[in-house]
Every structure is written in C-alpha cells, then in structure tokens.
Structure 1
C-alpha cells in the first residue's frame, strides 16, 4: 500500500492465489486495505462469494452466456473481451472492458460505439515486466483509448508496473505475485518475503550400489555407494517432474532430487537419516525461485500447481 499513490489495491487471487490459498490471501489483503478481489473464473468468484458476501469480486476471464446469469445472481463483476460480450454484459451485470494494447491475448482493440450500459471499468495488461519502452507505449495507447470512458475505473498496472513505473497506477492496481511474496522480476530487489512454507518428511531410506539405477526407465544411474531417501510428495501434489535436479532440505542438509513420481520423489542423502526426518521443500532458504531456476520456469508456475485437497495434503495457515 505504501507504493500506491492514491490508487486502489485490487488483490489478484486467481489460481487459488498462486497456490497459496485464495481465501486466506484474500482476507489478508482486505485487512491491509485491498478494495477488490480479482479471479480468473466464475467458479473462483463463486467460491469467494460463498465466504465473502459483501466484497467486490471481479471475474477477469471469459464467460459463457449461461455464466452471466449466475454471475448476476452472485453480484460478481465481469470482463468483456469481445464486442459480442459487451452487448451481453451491458444489460445484466457491472462489467469491465478489456482493451488489447499489445499483449495480444484477451481484449478488443477499441471501445464499441454502442452504449456501454453498466460499464464500471476499463482495463488492459502489460506484455512485459520491467521494459520501460514497451510499458510506455502500452500505457499511452491505453490512455488514448480509455479517454472517453467517463466514470469508469481505469486499471492496467500489475505488481511490477506499479512498483517500477508509478505513472501506470491510474485508478487501481491489480497486484498478485507480490501479495504472496514473489518478486515479479528477478532483476530488482523488491524487499518482499515469501509467505508459504512447504514441508514433508523422510518416509524411507535405502543404500544403493554403484551401477544401480533409480526411477522408471533407469532415469538416474548411481555412480557410487549412495544413500537414497524417499519423500511422499510428487507431481500429483504439485512438485513438477521438471524439478529433477533441484534441492530440498532434509533435516539440516540440502539433498538433490534425482527422480519425481506421481506420489513421491527420490533424493540423494549425505548420510543415513531416520525415517520421519523433517523435509523442507520450500522454506529455510529453499525458495520457489530456486526450483523455478532449475526448471527454467516462473516461480508461480510451480506454486499454482500446489494441491489444495485435504485428502492429499494438510494446509495450516500461520499468522
């Protein structure tokens, strides 16, 4: 909030708040002054509405004509990405018009000539994080196209733009990754801290001889006498198979991941440890950024895949 110069903070909690838990993150954001919650799908919006009956919730993704009636009943704001959707939304729900200014994903090229009905916002989205030239061109295009949208909230800035280019803040800022402790670009020190800790335990330990293999199709060949540990977390829980080669913390020592299965992963230990030894997948110096660098993806591509199912994982919210 200290970085916003009069603009409203709108918390983006789509994809279960980047895997961190939409409801607890939404509540935390509202407590520090967020005035709206942004999600990607109708079902995400309905889940929030069930526990937050009075909050402003904006569904940013596309809707079917059938969805509009459900959104209207739930008092959700919607986003029009096409001229046809403008006509459908304008008479039924409060809506935002998405303008394509260069990302070339969702959005129309310019506002329609017809009546905008219940238009409450005009929005766009930057195509880069941190490029001043592209950001400047997109902002200029957006300001030009939205100049006649009297009374509508104008919003284009995400976390990175709001931080690096204050002129993009306009009426509201849609902030997602920084709310959960992810720096939006690795090139800048944003001074923020991770908000999620992911732990498990050592479930089995065995010695493996030189020349033996670990994993399906012999994916890892053991070069010397090795102590292998098995951790009951796998890609069905969100630990992506592309994270082979990354490190986790077993007890107080880093251990390399050499194989990832649906329900488990194998790591190489530096010594024999008892089963039940705590394992830290994220936390205590092990970060999503570390894992992401190993897999050449973004941190939130990993966190968004974390399973939020009590039948597989236990989540505990810590203030």
Structure 2
C-alpha cells in the first residue's frame, strides 16, 4: 500500500455523477433538477462539484449565501444559481454576478425590489419561498394577497420559481404532515398562476421527497445530501455512493505496558501490552471529542482500530495492537469500509453535520469520474 502523505478528503466525482443520475432517474424527464451545493458542497469542494454537475446536466444550483455564489461565478460556472439566504448588504455583488435571490419576508422582498428598481432592472429573476410548516423561513399562505400585490406593482423583478421546504419527508410517521405541506404549496401555486397568468418553476421536493413523494416533483426538484451519497434511508443509501472519503496516516506508534494511560486526563488505560498509533487530525479538523474513548474506530489495512483516549485538537490515538502496521500506513476515518452515517451515529449526530464539519485545512483531493 502506498504511503499516505497527509490527511486528505478524497472527492470522487464518479460517485457524484452516479448519484446525480440515480436521483434524476426517479423524476420525470421534463422536471428540472436543482443541485444544492451550499457549505462547500456539503463539506467537499463546491467548484469541482459544480463543474461536474454542470457538465452532466444540472439545471440550477443553490447555495446559502451570496459569497458562495460569487465563488462559483469566479470559477466560470454559468448555470443559474439561487441564493437561499441573501442579505441586503450583498445585493451589489448578487447583481454583479447574476445570482438569483430567494425572497422570504416582506422586508427582504421590498428591499430587493427597491434595489432592482434603483438599478433599472427589468424582470430580474427572483425566487419566492413559502412556509408550509417548516417554520424557518418563508411567507405564510395567509400573506399571499399582500405579496402578490407588491409583485404586481413592479416590473423590476419576475418570479422565476416558487418553492417550499419539507420538514420531515424522510419520516413515514410524519406522512400526513408532509402531505399537508404539499397540498398547501399546491394551493399557493394555483393562486399565483391565477394571479399572474403564468407558471413559474415550482419545487418542494428535497432528496427524501424525490424518493418518497414522487407525485410532488412538480416542475423542479432539489437535491443536496443525496448527491453526496446519503439518502436518509438505508434502502435509498444502497443505491447511492458516498462522494467523500476521509483518509490520514499513522504518524507514530507507541508501545505501552499494561496499566499505562493514553492522552489528556488519562481517560483510557490499557489492560494489556498495547500498540497505540497517533493520527494527524483532531477536533480542529471536524472529528469532535465525542468520538473518543472507543465510541467508534477507524480502519487500518481493512481492520478496525478503536479510537482511544480523548481526541485532541490535532491528534487522534487509535489501538492497533492486533494490526500488523507501521508508521506512514494509510488510515480511513470514513468512506470505503465505514459509512459516514455509522460514524456520525456514534457521535449522536447525523451525516450532514459530520461531512460539512470537516475543516478547510484538510486537503481536498479530486478523483475524476
């Protein structure tokens, strides 16, 4: 096995393409596909991911903040980009880079219209978010009359899409609630079409919604976590391939006698002569202290090695007593033999938090399709 040189997060663009095509195959051909690539493409690499998805046919991208969209434009991405959470202070950059805001409150709607009118814009594309039960961002159904009146009185913007967000599409126990959200959104969409005599793009399905509520695909779907290999359901997960594999190497091996302890606060004591390997990553890289003291392990030469002691800022210790290994050997944290969902569960969290939390000081290595 080649010697690893540093801690890296490998980004497999072949797995990304597979996931896109798998998810895409679950919606009608005429339904558009919005790829969510916020938070560095869920902790991977937003530019590389966007370039690949643009190449294979994604219709829209979505990011959280304007600066994320600017980064894509500076990298040459030309696909339309929706900004989930724009702020007034960045409207100039939004306009300069042809980014499209999601407008979710009366205050923000009026601010952007005033800005667009001042800049003498005509039919600038905007996206209107409706709150159908997530209770996070968006206009309530009862606000539609007021919002429609504001939109009628300007030619500076045009609604490119109307959308909402499902709160529990992966949870069958919440099926009645989810169907209620979908029906509420359909009512809102019908009112919009009657009011403005055209149909904008309509989207409410996220990854789990695409698989569990195909009848709600409407004219566009959004997928984030699914593109990166996680379906929030073990049956869906079998059809997807995790895009990221976190790898490191053994920096040093310590030989301890029975009764010696490992790491800060001496929280782990060996009960036999042991080999303890140190790895060059820690909680500053996104592997939090909650994973220490045998909550989970890693893989060395395809063999499981438990994490022992408290995880440090830059160092993790693992027990390799029963593994024939040496300094410089490769170690897999998650990906490959260990699904990130399993790793995350050991820390009482979800795959989203784990993969988006991998520090930007970890080198990203792009694996072409």
Structure having greater relative contact order (Cα 8 Å, sep ≥ 6) = 2
1:251 corresponds to 2:282: no
Q: Which stretches in structure 1 are left out of the alignment for 5+ residues?
A: none
User: How many angstroms does 1:206 deviate by?
Assistant: 0.7
**1:23 to 2:44 alignment:** no
* Equivalent position of 2:87 in the other structure: 64
Report the counterpart of residue 58 of structure 2 in structure 1. Answer: 34
Counterpart of 1:313 in structure 2 is 363
Separation of aligned partners in 1, 2:245 and 2:312: 21
**Where does residue 181 of structure 2 map in the other structure?**
138
In the superposition, the TM-score normalised over structure 1's length comes to 0.93
Tell whether the 8 Å contact from 1:183 to 1:189 is kept in structure 2 after alignment: yes
User: Residues of 1 paired with 2:287 and 2:183: CA distance?
Assistant: 41
Q: What is the CA-CA distance between 1:120 and the residue it aligns to?
A: 1.4
Q: Name the CA distance, whole Å, in 1 between partners of 2:50 and 2:237.
A: 25
Q: Which runs of 5+ in 2 are unaligned?
A: 1-23, 117-123, 152-156, 194-198
Partner of 1:194, secondary structure, is coil
Q: Which residue of 1 aligns with 2:312?
A: 261
Tell me the distance in 2 between the aligned counterparts of 1:67 and 1:84.
15
Post-superposition Cα deviations, 1:156-211, rounded to whole Å, max 9, x if no partner, equal 11011011111111111110111111122336455111122221111100122233
Deviation at 1:272, TM superposition (A): 5.6
Aligned partners of 1:106 and 1:133: how far apart in 2?
21
2:64 and 2:252 map into 1 onto residues whose CA distance is 40
State how far apart, in whole Å, the 1-side matches of 2:60 and 2:74 are: 15
User: What is the root-mean-square deviation in Å for CA atoms of aligned residues?
Assistant: 1.8
Moved beyond 3 Å, runs of 4+: 186-190
Tell me the SS of whatever aligns to 2:192.
coil
Q: Are 2:207 and 1:159 aligned? A: yes
Distance 1:154 1:252 in 2: 46
Relative to structure 2, which stretch is displaced further, 96-105 or 181-190?
181-190
SS in 2 for 1:210: coil
- Secondary structure at the residue paired with 1:148? helix
Q: TM-score, normalised by structure 2?
A: 0.81
CA deviation after TM superposition for structure 1 residue 314, in Å = 4.8
Distance in structure 1 (CA, Å) of the matches to 2:177 and 2:306: 39
| 1:80-136 deviation per Cα after TM superposition (whole angstroms, max 9, x unaligned) | 121111112235242111111111111121331423242211111011024322210
